[in-house]
Structure 1
Amino acid sequence: MVGMSPNKGWMGAPWGGVWDPPPYDVAPPSPRHPTVKVKKPIQTKFRMPVFNWVALKPSQIDGTVFTELNDEKVLQELDMSDFEEQFKTKAQGPAVDISALKVKATQKAPSKVTLMESNRAKNLAITLRKGGRSVQDICTAIETYDQQALSLDFLELLLRFLPTEYERTLIGKFEREQQPLEELSDEDQFMIRFSKIPRLAERMNVMIFLGNFSDTAQLLMPQLNAIIAASMSLKSSSKLRNILEIVLAFGNYMNSSKRGAAYGFRLQSLDALLEMKSTDRKQTLLHYLVRVITEKYPELTGFHTELHFLDKAGTVSLDSVLQDVRSLQQGMELTRKEFMRQDDSPVLKDFLKVNTEVMEKLQADSKTAKEAYESAVEYFGENPKTSPPTTFFPMFMRFIRAYKKAEQDIELWKKQEAAAKEAESSPPGSQDQPELPIQKAKRQQMDMIAELKKKQMVKEPLIYEGKDGAIEDIISALKTVPFTARTGKRSSRLFCDVSFNEESPL
């Protein structure tokens, strides 16, 4: 211990034995101060708040005023009951009989009967409060499939508290012993009544199924329809087939002498049409194909109008949709079985009457969607197992966007060429022709450069033009990059030119 000599301690006394504990009412002696009487803890009738002081140890009061004080004498002189009443902590019951406590402390408190684990019971209590209904009302609503009485969210929460086998065993033991129900908590009493509902799990699942069916069906149908429409339109498009034929012809023309002739290609190869550029780097292979199609096969332009709902189908997880349909079918079968067991339920009877046809259509559409999709994927040389809709349809969407962008580029180039030829044919100094936007922007840029150069000749230049035309680059960047005041940031487009083959949205 701190302050002890090395050869002394509680486990090793100077004589080699065990250190004897101090007397009950006397503190351990210290060589620096006299013996201090040990103070016994005070038992109050009420729980009192904690007074946050910094207490001194017996070894710290030697030579201080505290050696002259006797607080126990003060407590004997005063009636502390009024103090306790005014300073006790809140939410306490009546005063505790200290003598009675001492008697009870020697007796073992009777154990309270519990049927549920404490955390599970606590969570059930929270769930029941959310329901806002009595135990009897909840159980009656489940027995009669009353969806108006219990919300779907509450049912899904309550499903977590189906009685376990162990809880059912405890309930059976409690009932055999004929113990008073009042000894149980509200949660345990609910669990006993809850467990008495016939086919409880089946009823709960049926109620949740009834509540979810309509919304789920309305969510699944459009997704199935998108897959069907997109798959069938791709497979039936004659214009798309002819365009792929042209791509195959150009690919073989370039590759057959080196790699041999190809009889087909993977759809991802369509992306490569944007990567191959002409010798002068001014156009891509796709631009050239668009020119050929426009001039030689004009009937193929607008081929994308034959394709439908590719964007929507490209967001569908077909496997998940088909699984959801199977889950609905299982729920419908469970509902039919419950109805067969009690055909007097008007709720189940009305539900089956209204929704059986809906379920049959969902099943038929899911089968059609699966067959149509697999047929389309295989038709274009892909594998349905490795090409989900989220991969398959976007390949066509990218090609369509790139094709439209190439058409726009070619149209713009034609206008620029026509304007340039017209400018060359015009007499010098002619003011009759209107100035094109590009020409106007270039003229304004040159005027600004000339003005800056003129100012640099008057005073010390702040920006040096240098060999690479720094002024022109800065002005071009300011015109290219969006300007936002006081942000201190500029778009990364400052360092990369926008390529003419950039895709534009559909």
Structure 2
Amino acid sequence: MGNIESVDGQSDNMKHHIMPLKVPIPDQSELEERFALVLNSMNLPPDKARLLRQYDNDKKWDLICDQERFQVKNPPHAYISKLRGYLDPGVTRKKFRRRVQESTKVLRELEISLRTNHIGWVREFLNDENRGLDILVEYLSFAQCAVMLNFEGLEMGEEISLDKSKSWSRSIEDLHQGSTQPFCNTLVRSARQSVLRYGTAPNSKTIKNSLLVSQKDDVHVCIMCLRAIMNYQYGFNLVMSHAHAVNEIALSLNNRNSRTKALVLELLAAVCLVRGGHEIILSAFDNFKEVCKEKHRFEKLMDYFRVEDGNIDFMVACMQFINIMVHSVEDMNFRVHLQYEFTKLGLDDYLEKSKYTESDKLSVQIQAYLDNVFDVGGLLEDAETKNVALEKVEELEEHLSHETYESTNTQVHTLRRMIKEKDAAFQRSFNIEKRLLEMEQQGTIRLRKQPDGDIAIEPLGGGGGGGGGGGGGGGPGVPLSDFGQNGGFSVGPGGVTGPGGPGGPGSSLPRASEAPPPPPPPPLPPALGTLPCTVIVFHIIVPTPSVLCWLSIHIVLHSRAIRIKKPIKTKFRLPIFNWTALKPNQINGTVFSEIDDERVLEDLDVEKFEELFKTKAQGPVVDLSGPKTKVSQKAINKISLLDANRSKNLAITLRKANKSTEEICKAIQTFDLKALPVDFVECLMRFLPTEAEGKMMRQYERERRPLDALTDEDRFMLFFSKIERLTQRMNIITFVGNFSDNVNMLTPQLNAIIAASASVKSSPKLKRMLEIILALGNYMNSSKRGSVYGFKLQSLDLLLDTKSTDRKMTLLHYIAVVVKEKYPELANFFNELHFVDKAAAVSLENVLLDVRELGKGMDLIRRESSLHDHSVLKGFLQTSDTQLDKLQKDAKTAEEAFNNVVNYFGESSKTTPPSVFFPVFVRFIRAYKDAVEDNEQRKKQEKAMREKLLAQEAKQHDPKVQVVKKRQQQQELISELRKRQAKDHRPVYEGKDGTIEDIITGGLDMQPRW
């Protein structure tokens, strides 16, 4: 394959030679047509081809001429005929020796042609007429035949030589019948292996010829040729589909040359990383095991790894291949299986010895393998420890829940007793107050407030004047209605006292507000008129806020008493539904206090449920080039007080406005947004004058130096800094300009929160769905964990993790079935949940913060408008006040609505914002719809399967039907495999042009992290 760099380089080299007369450029249509043909023949990647298409006509014509002048050295059939000549069994020994002398040279030229010629040449080499791949693979097998024999003879302890004294001329049958020597056994076995590979047994002449070839580099160059072919997508697909190609590449590991072994391992590792290649390589090593008579797969590979410990390049390639072979597998169980194959062959012990090698590349590969090894025993121990810990946590939570319940029950009884005592005290207080009021109305007593705050009861004498004087002297009276209802008191011999007694805890009473003196009392009855003038003092006890708090707790607990749920006994052991349960004291006021899961279990077919889930164990661009030149020319004679970078950026900003300094300053003073766009004001905010810049400008003016001597930027900064309350004005302009956009952005978010909160809280169908989930969860967990009263909403995500015994159905799928069969009215429960998807994307905290910032900005404008008469600001306030008030009300409504719905579902608004709360329902709705669709699909498949079975039984005697049936099953199997392959997310490469070279030259050199 070519590339742009090589094309350009080729053009440059051609310039140094004597060029023939240049042919004139043809018309545009012919030029484009011929250029397209050249691009197709170069087989470039899309990005490089796109770059070449951008060439002008002259470059395109030069490229066309270069390509048309280029002539390939030999056509494909020339190489194929030579390779076939080497494989010709009828050629004489002497003639073969002459031919084979140039075999390596021919193969090297073939490799260069496959690598550098255009794709059309490669396709011609591989087409059905030439069958170049078959010839190349057959020659590779022929070149390895003697290597295999020699290797196996060494393995049996024999030194093999091919002198004439040996019985090479004997046939395979003679050797099989008469010889008992190890060498003969080896030859027979190799011959049988060759029969397994190609179906033909080699004769002695073929083996002798192979020995001559094996002493050269033909195997190595053959592998290079196959690598060049596999670098094209077309060639790669042919090699992968060939019956023997990959097997012969793998068998080349038996070559004596360590460089060839490393090349083979690099190529096989690269194929492993291409989609579908891992399985092909494993199949090749299965064939290797059968041909080489290994007891275990990869046995000889490990032998080579141990023996050639001095060849670092081979060891790196070998370790790299093992890493990719084991750790590029997605299936964890299969990865452990492959890992155990190498452990059984002694890889772990050998790596422990080689871990401290001096080679950095080998050390990296060894460490990568050790880092990715699965310690199954450790994982099992961790899992068991985790299960024990979880059971202990459940026991502690259950124990804590019972203790909390008992403590709460004790507090309830105590509060009931306290309520009764308070009720009695209130009743006594009321009776006494009532009696005192009656006596005061009758004129027998007068109530008077003393200087220390106590209330005095004064019996009146016979004269009304004395009573009035007493009332006047003691100050205005205090009505008992102001304090009688707040405490209790009793009357004793010494007066009226509170329950705490005189001077006790309840003896203090706040001073009441003054009231006009009461009217003169009526005359006292004779019986009371003779009483001495005695002052009776009483004290009132006012309940403290803490007592009132305990009273409210008592009322709630008394009215919401929780019934203890009995454990549910199941026929089979069921899997655990790992939800997060609410504690009994968290149920009050939530949705779970209004639902009854035990009633649901009465409607369901729990036997079917147990059978299913039982466990198996059982803007426009501005051209700045012109102004820059002018500025640089003027800057020579003008003074600049600002920093150079700041002055440059300010100049760019002012140029965008295209207004004079006076116009900009006037617009800022009058808040004229029509003259100054908001985005320009925001850019100008970065150039507010600092204290040091303001001081420099004032100093320049005090020195009465000419303003014309300043640069345009400095002169602007001088006038800019003179504007009163500059920062405040700029903030106001920015706020006014962005106000409408901010309101339009925040209003839909608040509306989404309000609508979603209201719909979720008020949905009766959602409540019924939670009731079903709670019922099934308690049925599954009751025998092991006990029944619960509610669960956290995050438990809805776990419905897909709980699967049936056959792993085909999840708990959510079963709920969808139950809803369809038992509660069809709940099937569209999600239609009641409005705007939850939009509310899930809202950050309520940020929205409320933005609303508060808008309020602060509006306050700033009000103060500015009240201090200085600005018609623009007044007009803005008149039009925007209403919008802001509505926005603030919406924000308050959204916050209250969200807090209510979060509390209603047993969550906390502090830890569960809308971005966490609403996505739970979004995911639940999506998963429920998918489950319904899966159930429908499964039902259709079951129906189709039943129909197929019936049709098969009815037409079992018809062979045509059986053939069609078999074909359909194969198609279904292929589609299922494709579907599973589509779901495989392993980081694998696609078999495209250049993939193999990219993997070998780039992907394999990187440190592996699978």
Q: TM-score range by the shorter chain?
A: 0.5 to 0.7
Contact 1:335–1:348 (CA<8 Å) still a contact in 2?
A: yes
Question: Structure 1-normalised TM-score?
Answer: 0.63
C-alpha separation in 2, matches of 1:441 and 1:175? 101
The answer as to 2:898 corresponding to 1:370 is: no
The answer as to 2:808 corresponding to 1:282 is: yes
C-alpha separation in 2, matches of 1:128 and 1:323? 33
From 937, 941, 948, give the equivalent of 1:416. Answer: 941
Contact 1:235–1:376 (CA<8 Å) still a contact in 2?
A: yes
The answer as to 2:912 corresponding to 1:387 is: yes
C-alpha separation in 1, matches of 2:804 and 2:775? 17
Distance of aligned partners of 1:474 and 1:399 in 2 relative to their CA distance in 1, 3 Å threshold: closer
Distance of aligned partners of 1:367 and 1:243 in 2 relative to their CA distance in 1, 3 Å threshold: same
From 160, 164, 168, give the equivalent of 2:690. Answer: 164
1:442 Cα deviation from its structure 2 partner: 6.2
Contact 2:799–2:810 (CA<8 Å) still a contact in 1?
A: yes
The 3-state SS of whatever aligns with 2:732 is: helix
Q: How does 1:445-460 map to 2 (within 5 A)?
A: 445=968
Q: Quick check: 439-448 or 254-263, which moved more?
A: 439-448
Code of the aligned partner of 2:687? F
Q: Which residue of 1 aligns with 2:704?
A: 178
Q: How does 1:36-435 map to 2 (within 5 A)?
A: 114-343=640-869, 345-425=870-950, 428-429=954-955
Distance of aligned partners of 1:404 and 1:475 in 2 relative to their CA distance in 1, 3 Å threshold: closer
For 1:74-133, what per-residue CA distance to the aligned partner results, in whole angstroms no more than 9, with x for missing partners? xxxxxxxxxxxxxxxx99x9xxxxxxxxxxxxxxxxx98654233222222222112211
C-alpha separation in 2, matches of 1:155 and 1:440? 79
C-alpha separation in 2, matches of 1:241 and 1:405? 21
Q: Quick check: 115-124 or 282-291, which moved more?
A: 115-124
From 991, 995, 1002, give the equivalent of 1:488. Answer: 991
1:184 Cα deviation from its structure 2 partner: 2.2
Code of the aligned partner of 1:428? A
Question: Structure 2-normalised TM-score?
Answer: 0.33
Code of the aligned partner of 1:340? S
Code of the aligned partner of 2:734? I
C-alpha separation in 1, matches of 2:685 and 2:800? 55
The 3-state SS of whatever aligns with 1:163 is: coil
1:180 Cα deviation from its structure 2 partner: 2.1
Code of the aligned partner of 1:213? F
C-alpha separation in 2, matches of 1:140 and 1:130? 17
Contact 2:902–2:908 (CA<8 Å) still a contact in 1?
A: yes
From 964, 967, 984, give the equivalent of 1:444. Answer: 967
For 1:294-326, what per-residue CA distance to the aligned partner results, in whole angstroms no more than 9, with x for missing partners? 222222221111100111111111111111111
C-alpha separation in 1, matches of 2:729 and 2:807? 70
Contact 1:267–1:395 (CA<8 Å) still a contact in 2?
A: yes
Q: Quick check: 381-390 or 262-271, which moved more?
A: 381-390
Q: Which structure shows the bigger proportion of residues in helix conformation?
A: 2
Code of the aligned partner of 2:758? M
C-alpha separation in 2, matches of 1:296 and 1:189? 82
Contact 2:804–2:810 (CA<8 Å) still a contact in 1?
A: yes
1:136 Cα deviation from its structure 2 partner: 0.5
Distance of aligned partners of 1:478 and 1:315 in 2 relative to their CA distance in 1, 3 Å threshold: closer
1:429 Cα deviation from its structure 2 partner: 2.8
C-alpha separation in 1, matches of 2:805 and 2:963? 31
Contact 2:813–2:932 (CA<8 Å) still a contact in 1?
A: yes
C-alpha separation in 2, matches of 1:333 and 1:475? 67
Distance of aligned partners of 1:117 and 1:412 in 2 relative to their CA distance in 1, 3 Å threshold: closer
Contact 2:638–2:711 (CA<8 Å) still a contact in 1?
A: no
C-alpha separation in 2, matches of 1:352 and 1:228? 27
Q: Which residue of 1 aligns with 2:436?
A: none
Contact 2:837–2:918 (CA<8 Å) still a contact in 1?
A: yes
Code of the aligned partner of 1:365? D
Code of the aligned partner of 1:444? R
C-alpha separation in 1, matches of 2:661 and 2:944? 84
Distance of aligned partners of 1:479 and 1:192 in 2 relative to their CA distance in 1, 3 Å threshold: closer
C-alpha separation in 1, matches of 2:677 and 2:650? 16
5+ residue gaps in structure 2? 1-628, 983-988, 993-1010
C-alpha separation in 2, matches of 1:215 and 1:112? 42
1:255 Cα deviation from its structure 2 partner: 1.1
C-alpha separation in 2, matches of 1:441 and 1:231? 57
Code of the aligned partner of 2:844? L
Contact 1:445–1:475 (CA<8 Å) still a contact in 2?
A: no
1:447 Cα deviation from its structure 2 partner: 7.2
Distance of aligned partners of 1:200 and 1:404 in 2 relative to their CA distance in 1, 3 Å threshold: same
C-alpha separation in 1, matches of 2:691 and 2:823? 75
1:400 Cα deviation from its structure 2 partner: 1.0
Contact 1:252–1:261 (CA<8 Å) still a contact in 2?
A: yes
Distance of aligned partners of 1:275 and 1:172 in 2 relative to their CA distance in 1, 3 Å threshold: same
For 1:207-263, what per-residue CA distance to the aligned partner results, in whole angstroms no more than 9, with x for missing partners? 111111111111110011001111111111111111111111111111122112211
Distance of aligned partners of 1:180 and 1:420 in 2 relative to their CA distance in 1, 3 Å threshold: closer
Code of the aligned partner of 1:118? A
Code of the aligned partner of 1:488? G
1:166 Cα deviation from its structure 2 partner: 1.7
Contact 1:220–1:321 (CA<8 Å) still a contact in 2?
A: yes
Code of the aligned partner of 1:191? M
Q: Quick check: 170-179 or 214-223, which moved more?
A: 170-179
For 1:7-53, what per-residue CA distance to the aligned partner results, in whole angstroms no more than 9, with x for missing partners? xxxxxxxxxxxxxxxxxxxxxxxxxxxxxxxxxxxxxxxxxxxxxxx
Contact 1:274–1:284 (CA<8 Å) still a contact in 2?
A: yes
C-alpha separation in 2, matches of 1:333 and 1:442? 80
Contact 1:252–1:262 (CA<8 Å) still a contact in 2?
A: yes
C-alpha separation in 2, matches of 1:188 and 1:351? 33
Code of the aligned partner of 2:934? D
1:281 Cα deviation from its structure 2 partner: 1.8
Distance of aligned partners of 1:447 and 1:204 in 2 relative to their CA distance in 1, 3 Å threshold: closer
The 3-state SS of whatever aligns with 2:954 is: coil
C-alpha separation in 1, matches of 2:754 and 2:964? 50
Give the CA RMSD over aligned residues: 3.0
Percent of paired sites with the same residue? 55
C-alpha separation in 1, matches of 2:885 and 2:964? 65
Distance of aligned partners of 1:441 and 1:174 in 2 relative to their CA distance in 1, 3 Å threshold: farther
1:481 Cα deviation from its structure 2 partner: 5.7
Distance of aligned partners of 1:307 and 1:386 in 2 relative to their CA distance in 1, 3 Å threshold: same
C-alpha separation in 2, matches of 1:478 and 1:204? 63
5+ residue gaps in structure 1? 1-89, 94-110, 449-471, 490-506
C-alpha separation in 1, matches of 2:663 and 2:814? 75
1:422 Cα deviation from its structure 2 partner: 4.1
